[in-house]
Each structure stands twice: as C-alpha cells, then as structure tokens.
Amino acid sequence: MKREVKGMVGGLGVTLKTMLRPAVTVQYPHEREDPAPRARGVIALKEENCTVCMLCARSCPDWCIYIEGHKEQRPPRREGGRPRSVSLLDRFDIDYALCMYCGICVEVCPFDALFWSPEYEYSEHHIADLLHDKEKLGEWMATVPEPEPLELGAEKAKK
Amino acid sequence: MTDLLALDIGWGTTLGIKTLVVLGLVPMGALILGYTFLLKMMSHMQSRLGPMDPGGFHGWYQLVGDGIKFLQKEDIMPERADRRVFALAPAIVVLSTFLVFVVIPAGPRIKVADLDVGVFYALAVSSLSVIGVLMAGWASANKYALLGGLRAAAQLIAYELPLVLAVVGVVVQAGTMNLNEIVVFQRDAEIFGWGGIGFPLILTQFIGFALFMVATQAELTQPPFDMPVAESELVAGYMVEYTGFRFLFFFIGEFGTAFAFSGLAATLFLGGWAVPGVEGTAADVLGPIVLFAKVMFVAFLMFWARFTYPRLREDQLQALAWKWLIPIALVNILATGVLKVAF
Amino acid sequence: MTTTPPRDIPEFDVDPTLYRHLADTQMNVELDTGDMILNIGPQHPATHGTLRLVVRLDGERVVAADPIIGYMHRGYEKLVEFRTYPQITTLINRIDWLSSFANEVPFIAAAERLMEIEAPPRAQWIRTTLTELSRIATFLLFLGEMGLQVGAITPAFYGFRDREYVLNLIEAVTGGRFHPNFNRIGGIKEDLPWGWIADCKQAMAKVLESCDTFEDLVVGNPIFEQRTRSIGIIPASVGASYGVSGSNLRASGVDWDLRRDGKPYLPYHELDWKVWTHPDGDSFARYWVRLQETRESARMVLQLVDGLPSGPIMAKVPRIIKVPAGEAWINTENPLGEMGYYVVSKGATGPFRVKIRSASFSNVSILPWVLRGVFVPDVITILASLYFILGDIDR
Amino acid sequence: MADAPTTEADGPTAPALDERAQQVLARLEAELGDALVEHGSALGDLVVRVRPDAWRRAAEACRQALDCDFLSFVSGIDWMPTPVVEEDAGGDTSSPVQPREMTFGVAGSAGRLQVFAHVESTYAPHWAVTLKTDVDEAAPRLESWVPVYAGADWHERETWEMYGVVFDGHPSLRHLYLPAEFEGHPLRKDFPLLARDVKPWPGLVDVEPMPGESEAGETAGEGEDAS
C-alpha cells in the first residue's frame, strides 16, 4: 500500500516539478535554434569548380540531378601552350522533391563543386518549385560553413 | 443585489437575467478552464509553452478562435446515423451542465435558485449527461462510438453512487441539503472555539472530499477514468463522429461540467463563497471572487491528476468503484453519524 | 514486487482455425455470428503508422485478431538489387527510422567481411557509440510512448523532449538526425567534431535523469502496473519460435543478447556491461527491461567516449567498391531486436540478393497468438509494449 | 555428401568451419543422413542444403537436436541473372552489372529457385545454421514449417508472394505485403523494376561538343577517369 501511494504521489511530483521549470520549446519563427554545422540541409553548388563530369548525377541513387553542359575553347594557361577546352554548365538542377539527402553526390565530386549547407528554410507551395536550378544552388554557397575542428585523437585532415 | 441598485425588478426580468447569466457562465467557465488548464498548465507540465501567438498575451485568444472555427465548420453527419438522436445528443450533454450551475451559490444573495434539496438536485441533473453520451454513441453508427457510449454508461452509473455517498457525510454534518445553508454552516462553525477561517468541512470530511474528487474524475471521463473517450484505444469514443458546433457542445459540456463540479466541491468541502467576518453586500461582492479562487484550486487538482495518470481498464474501474470507493464511503457516513451523535 | 504466475497457456500451439475465418476479411467482412468485427487501423493512434488489425470481439474481449501489413511496403529487397553498395546505406537507413544508424552497421559489416576489410579501431568505437545512441533515442521514445498508449499524455512529451538531446548528438556527428548515412565500407565518413565528447557526457547525464523520471512517473504508478502486469504474456519458447527477439525476448527471461552472444561485430566485449532480463514476459516486463537497457546503454556510451582510441577512421578501400563473390549473414542486436542481412554477392558493384531480416516483422507476427482472449484496451497495451516501427515491418 | 563447398572459386577463400559449426554439422548429418545434400561455409557460418522432401524434417532436427528454437527468417532466392531487355536500355550504367551466366552460392543449388532459412538457438552455445533447399522452377512446392516454427507463417506468406513458392500445410497462404489482386512475383529476377524503366537515366553525358568536334559524346565521358 505504501508503495502504491508513493507511486501515485511521485508522479504528481514529476509533473509539478516540470511545470515550475522553464519550458524547452523554441518559438520557431520568432527565435530559432541553429542546426549543427554538419547538418545536411541543402546542397550548394560552386559553379566555377564544376567540370560537367556527371559523376554526381551517376552516383545519385534517386536520379534527381540533371546536368547539361557545353564545351568552349579557352586561351592556354602558359605562353605557347595549346588552347584548353573546358566544359561549362548549362543546367544543373537538383530535384529536392526526390532527393534523399544522402550526400553521395557531395562526396563523389572530385573538384569540390558541391557542398552541404545546414540551411533548411526552403519549403514551397508547389512541388515543382523544389527543383533548384544552378543559380539557386549557387546562392546557397553563402551559407556553407567552414569545416569544424575535429575532436581529440582524430587524424589530421589530408587536404 | 436588488437592494443595492434600489430597483424593483419584476420576476420575469429576474428570470431573464438569471437565465442569461447561466447561459453565459457555462461557456465562460469552459473557456477559462480550457485555457488555463488544458492549454497552459498541461503544456508547462509537459515542458512546452502551448499557444503563444493568438491574442498577443500567451495565446489567450486561442480557444475563442477555436470556438469560432468550430462554428464555421461544415455540419457533417454520418450517412447511417440516426439523425435526430445524433443531433439531440450534444444538446442533452450541455443541458445537464447548465442545470447544475443553477444551484451553486456565489454569495449570500447571488444565486440563481435556492433549492432545499440543492445537493440532491445537482447530483441528479449532472447524471443526465449520460443519456446524451449514450445517445451519441448509439446514433453515430460507429463501432468505436458505440463502445465508448457503452463504457460511459457503465462508468457513470458505477460512479454516481460513490459521488452521492461521499456527499452524505457533508449533509449529515451540516444538517441540510441546501447548498447555501451548507456554506453558511461552514462560515459560522468554529474550530474548537476559533472562527478565523470558519469551518471548511474538508477538515472532518477529508475522506469524503477525496472520494468526491475521484468520483468526479470518473463522472467527467477524465484520466485515469477516460475509457469512454480513450484517445489511444477508441480514438475519441462517443465523440468520434462529431464535428463543428456539435463537437463544440461536447467540449463546453466537458469543461463546463468540470467547472460546475469544482464549484460543487468548493461549496461542499471548502466553504464556498464564505469569508468569515464579512457579511451583507460586501459578501456579495467578495463571494464570487472567493468562490472562483476555490474553484480554480479544485480544478487544478483535478487537471493535475488528469495530466499525470494513465488510464485504468473498464473492469478495473468497476472493481475500484464497487470494492473500494463505495465501502469506504459507507464507513465514512457511519463514522460521521456516530460522531455527530456523540458530539 | 510479486510476479504473477502466467496464464494457463498451452506450451506450443498453432491453431489457426480461430483466425482463419478472418482471412477473408481482407476482401469482405462478413458478420456470420453475433461477434463484432472491429477494424483497428490503418489510421489509428495506437498503430504508429499504418498497421491494421482486424479483431473479432465478443463484448470487449478479443476472440481473434489478424494483423494486416504492407501499407508501407517499399520493396527494399528488390531495390537494393539495383543499387551499388555505397548507395544502399541510404536506403536501409529508412527501414527502422528511429534507429537508422544501427540498421547500417550489419550491412556494412557484411560487406566488409566479404571484402576482408576491417575498419580501424577508432571507427569501430565511434560506430558503437552511435549505435548505442540510436538505441537510447529509440528507447526513450518508447518509454514515453508506452505511457501515452495506456492513457497518460505527459510521458510521451518527456520521451520526445529527451530524445532530442540524443538526436542532436547524432546530428552533430553525422549531419542527419534520422538518416545518418554515416557508415562507409572500411570505416566511417568523418571524425567527431570538436567538443562533442563533452556534449555527449552532458546528454548522457540527462538521459540517466530522464530514466529516473520515467521510473517515478510511469513504472512506479500503480495504475500503470495494473494495466501492464500479466497482460500479453509471451512464454520464452513461444516467443522464440515466432522469432520474437531483442528486449521482447529478454523480458521473457531469455538471457540472449547478440551484442554479447552473437558473432562479434562491434567492440562490445571491451566494455563493462550486463544483459538485463525479466522473468515475467508480460507488458510490464518489456517496459522494465527497456528502461534498464536505456540506462545500460547510457553507461556504455560514457565508457566508449572515455576509451575512444585515436587513429584513422578509414581503412584502405579500393575506389570502386566491388565485393567478391560469396555469402554473408550478419545479425546484430538492434534496438527493436535481431536485425540481419543475408548478403549474396557475385563480385559486382552491387549485391545479387539481400535478405533483410527485420526485427519488428517477427515481433509483430506473434500478435494473432498473443492477442487472443485479451480486452480491447489490452490490445493497445500489448501493441505498445512490443514496440514496432512500421518501416521495420514493411521494409 | 560432397565435403568441399562449391563456392565460386574466384571469391576469397571461405574460412573453414569453426569448431562450433563442425559440431552442428556432425549432429545434423547424424539426424538427416543422406537428406543433407551438401554443406558449405559462409564466412565461417554453416550452410547446409537439404533435399526438398526433407525440408520439414530438417526443421524438426534443428529444433530438437540442435536446440535451435529461434526462427530468424525463411526466404527465397532466385539465382537466374536478370534478363537484359536491350543492350543499352536507357544507357543506364548505374545499376550493378551481375554475371550473365547462372552461378550458385554456398552449398550449391539444383536450379533457379531456392528457399533458405536461418535458425538460431537461444541457449548457450547459441548454435545456428542456415538451411537451403531447391524448389522446382515450374511448380515450386515445399512443406510448410508452421507446425515446427509458428513464426514461419508470415515468412512463408512473404516467400509465396515474392517467389511463388507454395507451402503445403500452411494455414492460410494469402498475400502479406501486396494487395490481394496483385499478380506476379516481384522478387523473381524476371520481374522488372519499373521505377528504373519509366524515367530516362539522368547520368547520360549531355555535353554539347565544340563545333568541329565529333558527336557521340565520348569526349566528356571522363566520369571514371576524372576522379
């Protein structure tokens, strides 16, 4: 009987104690908690680094990256060298309605053209608007954080 | 109040005013309890804030807005429902709430009806709501609603008895069934010759108060006795098919009844509107405020348990009522009677 | 605490005649007797998603129950045949979405074994830490959720609140709250961020405190005990033959934990911990065992972050991953029970066949047996105490 | 029977059976006799192939002689390579390319379809075994395990709808995951994954060549080389 009474009263104590403590809620539109710097919010594109190699589009498990490009002649880097041909982006779309946020494209990119940004406020009224083109993806570059320092005992980054 | 204004008001006008007051009080009480406890206290007990934006100050406007929204909603009736019974059910539930309010006094002269059998009347009309609930459960043509309705009927019948028996001790001690006279008794009686706070009957009727609160919780179908609505089992029980203003009626009925029962408990056990030493017009002004404070306190206890405890099973609830509450209540009456004769 | 003797349950029986009739309810419900057929779900607050239960009631007593699943079937076993090994971790994340990290581990372990690669110790320890964190996150939600299912609203909010602390930790390391996709064949994606260990210790203190809260608010409550004691008793032998695993089986007194008894897949043997069991096998025992395991996991995480070895986090792995032909069966102790992958490889960049053995599927398959003869409220209690994730049933 | 496992030779040398697995095998051989067709090792775990007519007897032997009271799963496997409709259907190179000829895994197979299951023991020393058996491709039938392991019920329903294997003695073989009117057996290799067919593969190189450069786009196909 004593245990029962203790159980009944103990529960009331827990709720009362919680009531007297400040709430944990964050009033979202007025105040916001920043996600972790590593959070996979949205993918940013650094257009000048892209060589249209299609690696990201190919390794995407959801087939949600669409790339088109064209080639152009550029003056040689060194005097007397051969003119270079570079591939330029015409189209780079990511369909966030399909994207699973796995990050494989960011990882496979050999030229550091894709980055994760923790930004998350890009919901839309129409599902078609979730297709971000290269201008929009380029805008996210401003929100990409610097890489964090690592915990003790980690190997130094090779780059 | 009539002498205060020095006006001669006819009985018809008085009746009109009284009706309006009751009609306004019930939704008002439901709103106040709903906002204070359901929206705010529960939120804070769960480490959240609850609505903050509507109305500016801590979301006070939220429930009013909800009410308006309910009124605008489409009136949906299930195809196979018993239409007239379905429509009538919420009205009966709310009606029983209105009728309880009639007898609760808020001051020596602030009362709608001064019945000599006030206690008896209040408990009788409060159980009218079970008819409405049963009608709602049956007429909805929904299995969940039917289960909810039947559970409610079984439960309300089982808990009517301890509720009445819990009050008998008070009636025996006060020697009257008139609610106003019970309050006056509590004001005038003294604790061993000291009348500082009068004599709230909770001091001697503590067991009665506890039983009353438990039975009230069951009457109001609140956790730990909310099997008829049982969110996680029956979804919302007898209310599952209701929407719009009919649902609003149930909501007002639920919280209005909570307000009424808190008022009853405050009147019967905590001394009601009485403030010792204050009489006449001053008591009429102070009475409602004091009563309101006590109502809020009782409601706090009620909702505190509601937000803390899990729910019992229907058979366990019946076992609790018949094996524990009723025998304890009977012993309590016996003891009260013996002591009353002895002193 | 007194333990109630189990109901008189036959040692082992499969008498499908009682629910065979319900086989037809999937197509048309026929009321041939006075019994009532109640359709619980697929949209019902107690079914955490889209489980559907057709129960036949006599009054409020369940005569027979038939779970109908598949409303969320995504066909992962087919999909993984069209994906490469690195792409698959994103998918299998979503099987049991509450403990996604733990889902990745057995698959990656199977691929690593076939390739004869071993992840470096630091990677293994971080994997273990995150696996235990996802176990804590899953169980904290359960501890609250179960309260909700038996009628108390408040614990559910505490469960969600305290789980956030753990999810924040997972997000800080992996970048995903729910779908980390953090394991790579041969190691993990990134090392821990600076200051994470300190945060982790703080969060574990909160988790332990939270367990005490649940002890006061839920376990100690006599109403909760009345609702769960001797409800939904699963004897060990019946549970095992249905493939019920994990905490559900340990609550039936089976002292079997793959972290300790299975093939070693993570360095659990270097930690000091114990396996909790409860002899009763009822809903209360399942709650109690998970509560203790949450505490145990929190203590394990504290040991893990203290003893974290330094060094690399990736082994040498070829750039294009091709897994040599062979078969591997790796089963691990996931929060919900035994999770296993039977990977058949033919030497290509993707698997030839992957059989995914998910815990909830088998845990829920016992429902027709265990629900017979209980009351409707107990159906909800038992569903909650078995603790399933729809994605883990339907895959 | 055949002691040497017929795993594909080009795989890593499968580790030999450890002592525990040897004991399990010895017991099973004693119980099943010549119904045990073949055995092999999947990374040290015992895999045995039994004759189809001894499928239920094998389950009983596991449960009684090995104390394997825990049913992990029952499922099927289709060894046939995925039929290729067109050589370059959409040009999709993202899906893994499996060998074109039919090869079998550990412990071999008599034909295309196999049913396999894994049982474990909850008692120390926690014996475990994977059982395989061949089923006829034209009319796949097998004895049900439900009388031995009650939990085989759902697993067999799943195997039935995914591979079309009929289990004799199963209490109610009906659809588990798929709608009742579903036709076909999705996990068989000849069942196409429509999601990969209805949409063109976006990985095709779409770089306009410079004027004067040849078409065909192999210029920019540096996907593999660039990294």
Tell me the pLDDT tens digit for each residue of C198-245: 999 999 999 999 998 888 888 888 888 888 888 888 888 888 888 898
Say what the pLDDT of residue C6 is.
42
The answer to which of B62-76, B323-337, C273-287, D78-92 has the lowest mean pLDDT is: D78-92
How close does chain A come to C36, measured CA to CA in Å? 36
CATH of the domain at D168: 3.30.460.80
Q: Is residue D225 part of a domain?
A: no
Say what the pLDDT of residue C298 is.
92
What is the C-alpha to C-alpha distance for residues A102 and A60, in angstroms, rounded to an integer? 9
Q: Does C181 touch chain A (CB under 8 A)?
A: yes
What average pLDDT does range B182-188 have in this prediction? 80
Q: Does C251 touch chain A (CB under 8 A)?
A: no
Interface contacts A/C by beta carbons within 8 Å? 102
What average pLDDT does range D78-92 have in this prediction? 67
**Number of folded domains that form chain D:** 1
- For residue B120, the enclosing domain spans 2-342
How close does chain A come to C372, measured CA to CA in Å? 30
- For residue D38, the enclosing domain spans 19-197
pLDDT digits (tens, 9 = 90+) for D134-146: 888 888 888 888 8
Decide the pairing of beta strands C61-68 and D128-135. unpaired
pLDDT digits (tens, 9 = 90+) for D98-110: 777 778 878 777 7
- pLDDT band for position D148 (cuts 50, 70, 90): confident
Instruction: Check C326 against D105: CB less than 8 A apart.
Output: yes
pLDDT digits (tens, 9 = 90+) for C367-395: 888 888 888 888 888 988 988 888 888 87
Q: Is residue D176 part of a domain?
A: yes
What is the C-alpha to C-alpha distance for residues C55 and A3, in angstroms, rounded to an integer? 36
Decide the pairing of beta strands C61-68 and C183-184. unpaired
Nearest residue, CB atoms, A54 vs list D203, D208, D209: D203
**In this prediction, does ipTM exceed 0.90?**
no
What average pLDDT does range A80-100 have in this prediction? 81
All residues of chain B having their beta carbon less than 8 Å from the beta carbon of residue C161 are 46-47
User: DSSP string of B236-266?
Assistant: TGGGTT--HHHHHHHHHHHHHHHHHHHHHHH
How close does chain C come to A8, measured CA to CA in Å? 6
On the question of pLDDT at C107 being above 70, the answer is: yes
- pLDDT band for position D92 (cuts 50, 70, 90): low
More confident call, C131 vs B114: C131
Residue with tokens 């390319």: D97
Instruction: Check A18 against B43: CB less than 8 A apart.
Output: no
How close does chain C come to D149, measured CA to CA in Å? 5
| Cβ within 8 Å of B, C 31-50 | 36, 38, 44-46
Nearest residue, CB atoms, D105 vs list C83, C236, C344: C344
On the question of pLDDT at C331 being above 80, the answer is: yes
Token code pair at residue D204: 């095709």
Domains and CATH numbers, chain C: 88-320 (1.10.645.10)
What average pLDDT does range C68-88 have in this prediction? 87
Tell me the residue type at B171: V
On the question of pLDDT at C2 being above 70, the answer is: no
Nearest residue, CB atoms, B309 vs list A11, A21, A27: A11
Percentage above 90 pLDDT, chain C: 12
Q: From A104, which residue of chain C is nearest by alpha-carbon distance?
A: C87
Residue B56 falls in which region: left (phi positive, over 0), alpha (psi -120 to 50) or beta: left
**Sheet architecture: strand order including C353-357:** C326-334, C337-345, C353-357
Instruction: Check C216 against A10: CB less than 8 A apart.
Output: yes
Instruction: Check C154 against B223: CB less than 8 A apart.
Output: no
What average pLDDT does range D208-222 have in this prediction? 50
Say what the pLDDT of residue C21 is.
40
Token code pair at residue B211: 């039983």
Of C245, C321, C327, C256, nearest to C286 (Cα)?
Answer: C245
What is the C-alpha to C-alpha distance for residues B99 and B92, in angstroms, rounded to an integer? 11
Q: Does C174 touch chain A (CB under 8 A)?
A: yes
Q: Tell me if there are at least 3 CB pairs under 8 Å linking chains B and A.
A: yes
Q: Classify domain A31-143 at the CATH topology level.
A: Alpha-Beta Plaits (3.30.70)
Nearest residue, CB atoms, A54 vs list D199, D205, D213: D205
**Number of folded domains that form chain B:** 1
Say what the pLDDT of residue B196 is.
67
Q: Tell me if there are at least 3 CB pairs under 8 Å linking chains C and D.
A: yes
Q: Is residue D220 part of a domain?
A: no
How close does chain D come to C113, measured CA to CA in Å? 8
- pLDDT band for position A2 (cuts 50, 70, 90): confident
Instruction: Check C38 against B313: CB less than 8 A apart.
Output: no
B48 CB-near residues (< 8 Å, 6+ apart): A23, A24, A25, C157
What is the C-alpha to C-alpha distance for residues C229 and C5, in angstroms, rounded to an integer? 10
Instruction: Check C240 against D227: CB less than 8 A apart.
Output: no
| Cβ within 8 Å of B, C 135-154 | 147-154
Say what the pLDDT of residue C136 is.
92
How close does chain B come to C381, measured CA to CA in Å? 9
Q: Is residue D47 part of a domain?
A: yes
- pLDDT band for position D208 (cuts 50, 70, 90): low
Q: Tell me if there are at least 3 CB pairs under 8 Å linking chains B and D.
A: no
| Cβ within 8 Å of B, A 2-61 | 8, 11-12, 14-16, 18-19, 21, 23-25, 27
